[in-house]
Amino acid sequence: MKHSVGKQLTAGVANTIFVVPQGYKAEVDLLFISNLDANNKTTTAYWQHAHDINHKIKIIDLYPMSSHSYLQFSNGSIVMQQGDSFGI
């Protein structure tokens, strides 16, 4: 099964994009982030383990995004276990 998630994010706070349901694993192989705002932004994307909420593996860390630009991660994959989450 393939699944896409599209969300409009709230700036300045952590946004949970996806939580892997119980009994499932999830593979992330594409991440597309766009800045449609008129102002420059900074973005961080991370994978958070369910067994330790303080363990965040950063995929993108404080990346500066100019106005009306985008960022794409597609040169690898992340396999997440049940309860793991992906946040920005």
d(CA 46, CA 37): 22
HEC profile for 54-85? CCEEEEEEEEEECCCEEEEECCCCEEECCCCE
d(CA 18, CA 50): 12
Residue 1: pLDDT band with limits 50, 70, 90: low
Q: What is the pTM of this model?
A: 0.84
Residue 41 identity (one-letter amino acid): K
* 16-46 confidence digits (pLDDT tens): 999 999 999 999 999 999 999 899 999 999 9
